[in-house]
Structure 1
Amino acid sequence: MSDVTKIVATAPQERLARDWVLVLAAAGIASEVERRGREWDVIVDADDADRAAEAVTAYETETVPTRAADQPLDEYGRTWGGVVAGMLLVLASRLVESSSSATALFRAGEARADAIVGGEIWRAVTALTLHTDAPHLLSNVVTGTLVATAVCFAVGPGVGAWLLLVTGASGNWATAMLHGAGHHAVGASTAIFGGVGVLVGLAIVRRQRRAWVPLAAGLALLGFLGTGQRADLGAHFFGFVAGVVTGTAIAPAPVLRSRAAQWLLALAALSAVGGCWLLAIERNISPG
């Protein structure tokens, strides 16, 4: 951009300003977002100001009728669900490491494809709680806390816990079905990408005509974070897809407002994980 710039639009939310930047980029106009107090300005070169203003106005004219401004987004609100999820990942790792049967527990809980195909489907859940080393755990705790917080903010801690659990387990199961014997996987990242998919699915339904924005952002995040050297791309992809499908399906439903019901659902999800571990221990670790 040149030294001479001009503010062409001001948004009350950063997300809206970023949408305008995408619109301008599609029109071949370079732009930037700068925060000013509690508002976000979209800035372009002075020579492009008139064309940019027309593009933003045309976009708003098209989308405002579908926005239902008098109907705010139905979200649960602030919750500690994401922080609790991160703490539980650390606790699960410590419990396994401190056990005298740590190696046996790890082998009993990992997502071993041949075992899952053979009927040990609980491994799709237990594997979400295992990590290979401290860096692996730390990265998943950080990103998992952020994603789980966003999911729980949208749908509540109980519903969010089940969505993360189901999409993560679905990703591991689908990966096992695809790979067959020889494939092993551990880590919460499949559930994390399931959570990203849920957020994308919710946004697709709520944005309607701008559905491509969250979908493109989710795919970009999958490509950026989910394809590292040690990453299980298949599990990440299937978890993401499961999340998008699930998020799209539940988006029209009203948010469960009862805090008691939400935390009961969260406890039920935690109990389900515990039950899967009991099955893993019973079937794979001999007494004594």
Structure 2
Amino acid sequence: MTSYSPESLAVVWASPNKKAAQEAALVLRAIGLEHQLVGGPDGWSLLVSREHANQAASELRGYQDEKAVWPPKQVPFEKVSNGRLGALAYGLMMIALFPIGQQGLAGKNWYEAGLVDGVRLRAGEWERLVTALTLHADLPHLAGNLLFGIGFGVLASHTLGTGLAWFLALSAGGLGNWINVLITDPSHRSLGASTAVFGLLGVMSSYEWIRRKHLPLVALRRIAPLMGAGVLLGFLGMGNSDGAGQVDIGAHVFGFLAGIALGATVGYARIPQRLSSKGQAWTGFAACLLVVFAWMVALSR
């Protein structure tokens, strides 16, 4: 360390507590500012050259300001909804439509009428974007989408509310199917709720990222939802068979991306905070009505 004459030194920190003085010295050491820590009968003093006194004092004030608010105050999380009603409705609908899709009903082949068919969608049969989300190829296909759909649905309902969460899931699933059809071969055919399930994952991650921007959290904790969702997409979305031994990666990815866009939109617009309980109920009812209407159109063709 460079030696200074006593006249060229200024005291920038004084404390009777040795540990506090050592912490202050560590702050200056971290920025490469030469200093001296001197102990005496009245306590400890931190000295620097007079030309660096203002800089040292500024750094120490900043350190004290940060220390005063650390650790950040934990904001209690309040659930918008417990999510049970939406999860029950989703589960019952998927279970009820599974045998109907397999065997048909009222003389109609629901499987062919409802699955995503690139040729027919391009011909204007828009309802397949929705109806395909309610059909499954076999029991393992159904079980996987029930497990993750209910799990993600409950979690999303905690922050978004039940009605809005499932409306966004349906919207992301339909959008994901539409984009997938636009960029794939016209003969592309698919079915299953997984597009909506991964859409829901995207909605949750982007909405939570927006929500955390308003909380006193470090940057890594703010982006953690997006990182976690990306890992889940890679782990689950690249190996979830549609029941025919094939994985519709495009539908999973585009459903997820559609969910990211929708979740960010409702987050920036603060829709969950603006939506009343009655609004949540009407939004959930709209999602159910859309499914019913899509099937009515599909079966009338």
**TM-score, normalised via structure 2 length:** 0.67
Name the counterpart of 1:222. Answer: 233
Work out the percentage of aligned pairs sharing the same amino acid. 32
Following superposition, the deviation at residue 113 of structure 1 comes to 1.3
The counterpart of 2:260, out of the listed 244, 262, 279, is: 244
User: What stretches of structure 2 of length at least 5 have no aligned partner?
Assistant: 1-62, 214-218
Structure 1 partner of 2:196: 191
Question: Which residue in the other structure is 2:168 paired with?
Answer: 163
> Which protein has the larger Cα radius of gyration, Structure 1 or Structure 2?
2
Note if contact 1:74-1:255 (Cα within 8 Å) is conserved in structure 2: no
CA distance in 1, matches of 2:294, 2:128: 7
TM-score (norm 1): 0.70
Gaps of 5+ in 1: 1-57, 284-288
Q: Is the 8 A contact 2:108 2:299 kept in 1?
A: no
- Amino acid across the alignment from 2:81: G
Is the contact made by 2:201 and 2:256 (CA closer than 8 Å) also made in structure 1?
yes
Distance in 2 (CA, whole Å) between partners of 1:251 and 1:263 is: 19
Which residue in the other structure is 1:235 paired with? 251
Measured at CA, do residues 100 and 219 of structure 1 come closer, stay the same or move farther in structure 2, by a change above 3 Å?
A: same
Quote how far apart the aligned CAs of 1:215 are.
1.5
2:117 aligns with: 112
Q: Aligned pair 1:153/2:158, yes or no? A: yes
After TM superposition, the runs of 4+ consecutive aligned structure 1 residues lying more than 4 A away are: 64-70, 72-75, 100-103
Cα separation, 2, equivalents of 1:102 and 1:198: 38
Q: Does 1:278 align with 2:296?
A: yes
CA–CA distance in structure 1, aligned partners of residues 283 and 133 of structure 2: 19
The letter for the 2-side match of 1:276 is: A
Amino acid at match of 1:212: I
- The secondary structure found in structure 2 opposite 1:251 is helix
Matched, 1:133 2:138: yes
- Bigger drift between 198-207 and 248-257 goes to 248-257
Show CA shifts across 1:67-100 (max 9, x none): 7756x55641313112321221111213334534
Task: Specify the code of the residue in structure 2 equivalent to 1:224.
Answer: F
CA offset at residue 120 of structure 1?
A: 1.2
Any conservation in 1 of the 2:104–2:111 contact (CA below 8 Å)? no
Distance 1:223 1:212 in 2: 17
* Whole-angstrom distance in 2 between the partners of 1:115 and 1:79: 35
> How many positions carry a matched residue from both structures?
222
| Residue 84 of structure 2 corresponds to residue 76 of structure 1 | no
Partner of 1:212: 223
